[in-house]
Structure formats: C-alpha cells, structure tokens
Chain A
Amino acid sequence: GAVVSQHPSWVICKSGTSVKIECRSLDFQATTMFWYRQFPKQSLMLMATSNEGSKATYEQGVEKDKFLINHASLTLSTLTVTSAHPEDSSFYICSARDRTSYYEQYFGPGTRLTVT
C-alpha cells in the first residue's frame, strides 16, 4: 500500500518551454502533497506544500509564478515549471500524506528534468 507515482520519470526540454510533472497517490487519498527539489549528492529541499482545493504554500526563495502547483483532487497534484532554464535542471520529488495518517509521508520515484 501507500504508493505514489510520478510522471514523467524523466524529461528533456528546451529553454523557454514549460514542463508539467504529475504526482498521484495510487491507493490512498492525500489532502496534502509536498514538492521537493534535489541536486546531485544533496538532500531534499522543500519547494512548496500543496493542499487539495486551495493555493499552494511556497517556501522562501521559490518563485510561485515559475513553479505552478495545482492540487485538483485528493489523488493528484501537478507541478509546472514555466519558461524553463538550464538552472532548473534537477530531480523533482513529490510526497503525499495519507489523510488517515498523522505523521507519515510517502514519496514518489522522482522526475529528472534536464533543460537544454
């Protein structure tokens, strides 16, 4: 149980284009999903917290107009990287909290974004 999927698993795009990453909780409902960014050999950095039906809360230094987050349902959150630049290249990971669990979060497999 508690499976979180991400799509796509990897994507290459050109500078200036936009990329959408999907995060789905497959066997549970998630009122809250989180988006993280991870650079090589580094830990996860929280980008934003996404609550179903409301606007996302972004961490300091994360541009909300560049990283658009939509949490349209209890099983789906999307992250859209707009006008991507090479410095946006990174590993993006989402996690979801089971609405029945007080503490535990489950992570997706990540999406490798490369902007050329």
Chain B
Amino acid sequence: TQLLEQSPQFLSIQEGENLTVYCNSSSVFSSLQWYRQEPGEGPVLLVTVVTGGEVKKLKRLTFQFGDARKDSSLHITAAQPGDTGLYLCAGEEAGTALIFGKGTTLSVSS
C-alpha cells in the first residue's frame, strides 16, 4: 500500500511570511497532484507534476517534484489571508485512484 506523508499538519502564520509544505513517500508515483480545499467544498486541483525534478509555478505558489518521483513540495511566497485552506497532496500510479496525504491546514492571519 502506497502512503503519502504530508507535513506539517497544521500551520498558522502571519500575512507576508513564506511557507513550505512537504509530501513524502517511499513509493514512486507516476504523477503527483496538489489540491486546495475550502470547508464544505470539494478539492480544487492546483497543479499536476509528472516529471522527476519538475518545477511549476502558479503565481506565488511553487511546486516541485523530487527527482525520484517520491516526494514533492509546495512553497508559498508572501502568504495572504486568501491562501487559508486545506492543502492536499495526492499521488497516483497511472490509471489508479489517487492516494491522498493527510493534508495541511493553513491559516494566514492579517
């Protein structure tokens, strides 16, 4: 069974600070996805990374896939209150269901 360890589980920071969320596994994934979820809503896809070493940027968010395709990170620069939410990483072997990490609850206060 593939497992994804996500850390930290909770993060409370001030507006303007930077943060990094980590997602690690002992297994290799064909792709890894990051989602953001608001309370009472479904997860919204932020990015999909496929190639080992790949780096993708989405405004203030930077996503990286490890060279061995076992780990990933999400870095947010100059966090804003609107970034508050549950961030989920999910790994997938091609054609199978996503394996989710436990999530990181981010709270950004002004």
Contact = CB atoms under 8 A, between A and B. Distances in A.
Interface residues of A, number: 24
Given A46-B97, A103-B30, A41 B105 contact: yes
Q: Specify the main secondary structure of chain B where it touches its partner.
A: loop
Q: Specify the main secondary structure of chain A where it touches its partner.
A: strand
Interface stretch (A12-20, A67-75, A82-90, A106-114): A106-114
Nearest to B105: A41
B1 to A, nearest CB: 9
Nearest to A48: B97
Contact of B48 (A44, A104, A107): A104
Nearest to A112: B40
A44 to B, nearest CB: 5
Interface in A20-64: 32, 34, 41-46, 49
Contacts of B41: 109-110
A80 interface: no
Contact of A102 (B42, B94, B98, B101): B94
A43 B98 contact: no
B102 A43 contact: yes
Nearest to A111: B42
B98 A34 contact: yes
A108 B42 contact: yes
Contacts of A91: 40
Given A32-B95, A103-B33, 16 more contacts: A43-B101, A43-B103, A44-B88, A44-B98, A45-B100, A46-B100, A49-B96, A49-B97, A91-B40, A95-B98, A103-B48, A106-B45, A107-B42, A107-B43, A107-B45, A110-B40
